[in-house]
A and B are shown apart, each in its own frame.
Chain A
Amino acid sequence: MTTTTTAPPSKTTSAPRREKETGGALNVFSHAFLVLWVILAAGPLIWVALTAFRPSAEILSDPMGWPASFHWENFSNAWNKANIGQYTLNSLIILAGSLTGTMLLGSMAAYVIARFTFPGNRVIFMLFAGGMMFPVILALVPLFAVMENFGLLDTRPGLMIAYIAYSLPFTTFFLTSFFRTLPTGVQEAAMVDGASHTRTFFQIMLPMAKPGLVSIGIFNFLGQWNQYLLPLLLNNEDEKSYVLPQGLASLAVSQGYRGDWGALFAGLTIAMLPVLVVYAVFQRQVQAGLTAGAIK
């Protein structure tokens, strides 16, 4: 046994010089901490998924218990009776519109800002970049009024437009720097060959920007799928038109009286699964996209 291994964890700050074989106490201790955090990070989610298979009465009497038998009817109850199916459909419809709109408008604006010189170019760029810094909650009340004036309150197009508008700052910012990195030669060649600006954009530049579009697309997919504040504000009239996170939050509140906990847990599982699958598949791009969002 070397001195390294006998050093108690608390003294590791004065670890012996020339750590020939590190490991030992410090490593065991820190590694245990890493594993502990895996349990903490994934634990509540696994608990929800397991509990989704248990009947409500059992959940209440023994929250920690293992599912004795698998109650699939929780899922059908959640999907049909608790409206999770309807909420999922709403979320999908909204997302189809808002994601397409965000990507199209965002890349159009970014392309023009990145590749053309015109008066006001910098100003428009700063305008978009500045929008990332303001808390959405500040715009809450006037946004509500603006939407009401346009007759867009509690409508699907209204929600889509709001999602698009609030995704534009970061999307444009991200794609502007991306378009700047693309080679200019190809664009010039296309113009010399007689392609119009529009055609150059759609047939040459957009396909070339695919890696950037994928990153920001996933970023926006997650952001818009998970949106809660905007639907709460702009889409609160009819319970049938709730999006998934909104529906689940209201379900959690109303469960206090009705008490179909199995359905709530099944609903949560249904809501978490798609994002976790998307994340598992694209985790590299997701992590790159989200961390790029922090270092504005």
Chain B
Amino acid sequence: MPPRFTPERVRYDRRYRTLDKYRFIVGFLAVPLAFYALFVISPFIQAIYYSFTDWSGGPVANFVGFDNYEKMWNDERFWDSLRVSALLLVIAPVLTLVLGMFFAYMITSGGRHRRGRAIAGVAGSSVYKVVYFFPQVLSVAIIAVVWGRVFNTNSGLINGGLDKVGVDGPAWLGGDETLGLISLLTVISWSFIGFYVVLFSAAMGAIPKDIYEAALLDGAGRARTFFNVTLPLIWDTVRTGWIYMGIQALDTFAICLVMVPPHVLKVTPVFLYERFRDGQYGYATSIGVVLLFLSMAFSLIVMRVGNRDRIEY
């Protein structure tokens, strides 16, 4: 009851106030929690259960134990898709993070040492940061369509450009798995580099300037400053970025589904989606569970491998 309708004698009573507080808490949490529990939490939990059933969309789902997982183990198409996903998981973060770090370092510290300042960004660094981020704000579906056109064999941007210099461009998405993989990696890195440039620039910008001044005074060159000063100090951000990019690479769905024809190559999420479309619901969810475990394992490994002493500054 709003205070103006609450009788004076109970308004300041402690029990009434407690009751009022809980009524408010429940009222405010009920709808968000209900939505969240029904449409997010419950599907996740159900997924684990359904991965042990032969559910095909109908009312009956029989418990079949590890049959789906066994089927997956013997399914060559699954292993093919997993090989592509694993390649992305390994190569995409390295490619994206290295380039992102290089650009971020140039933007924050690559400039001339003007007016006695130890470090400065290159000229126009704010413009770079804005433009590099462009791909990150577009829909993955649109990115996939655009790059599908760019890579198109006959009327694409790349082969059109190669034509101009008299080179016959290959069929990028036409059938060769390696070329397909290169295309996929290009698009993934292209769309995420801007994000890491911004992320790493923020981390690099937080490093105190006097550390750079000291390094400069000691005669460290730019590369040396980067490897001995900048990188150790932003290591936590790099590790977070590494995990995040790995999970993104493992989650690659729309780009592969829209851009790459299914006969060339497919990643595991696309393989999952195709099983779902075929009505093999139980099988599809078990693939999802495997993907979940893979991304958790990946995060744990990176945490372990990348564990260094934290440097406080």
Contacts and interface: CB of A to CB of B under 8 A. Distances in A.
A141 B276 contact: yes
Contacts of A142: 42-44, 46-47, 50, 285
B25 A105 contact: no
Interface string B140-155: 1110111111101011
A6 B163 CA distance: 37
Contacts of B22: 118
B188 interface: no
Contacts of B2: 196, 198-199
Interface string B266-278: 0001001100100
Contacts of A26: 222
A60 B155 contact: yes
Most B CB within 10 A of own CB, among A44, A109, A169: A44
A268 B146 contact: yes
Contacts of B71: none
B93 interface: no
A191 to B, nearest CB: 9
Contacts of A295: 199, 237, 240
B103 interface: yes
B137 A168 contact: no
Contact of A138 (B144, B193, B222, B288): B288
Contacts of A27: 110, 112, 122
Given A38-B128, A42-B131, A275 B138 contact: yes
B40 A139 contact: yes
Given A196-B3, A290-B195, A135 B247 contact: yes
Interface residues of A, number: 104
Interface in A10-63: 12-19, 21-23, 26-27, 30-31, 33-34, 37-38, 40-45, 47-48, 59-63
Contacts of A172: 32
B241 A294 contact: yes
B292 A13 contact: no
Interface string A218-240: 00001001111100000000000
A291 interface: yes
Interface in B114-145: 122, 127-142, 144-145
Nearest to A136: B251
B138 A63 contact: no
B40 A279 contact: no
A154 B195 CA distance: 33
Contact of A286 (B137, B144, B190, B250): B137
Q: How large is the interface on B (under 10, 10 to 19, 20 to 34, 35 or more residues)?
A: 35 or more
A257 interface: no
A23 B43 contact: no
B130 to A, nearest CB: 5
A214 interface: no
B32 A109 contact: yes
B139 A228 contact: yes
Contacts of B223: 12-13, 15
Given A134-B44, A196-B20, A245-B139, 20 more contacts: A13-B224, A22-B112, A30-B106, A37-B132, A38-B127, A41-B132, A48-B149, A60-B155, A108-B28, A137-B251, A137-B253, A138-B47, A146-B46, A228-B140, A248-B141, A248-B142, A249-B141, A249-B258, A271-B139, A271-B142
Interface of B: 2-4, 20-22, 24-25, 27-29, 31-33, 35-36, 38-44, 46-47, 50, 57, 99, 102-103, 106-107, 110, 112-113, 122, 127-142, 144-150, 152, 154-157, 159-161, 163-164, 190, 193-195, 198-199, 202, 216, 219, 221-224, 237, 240-241, 244, 247, 250-251, 253-254, 258, 269, 272-273, 276, 281, 284-285, 288-289, 291-292, 295
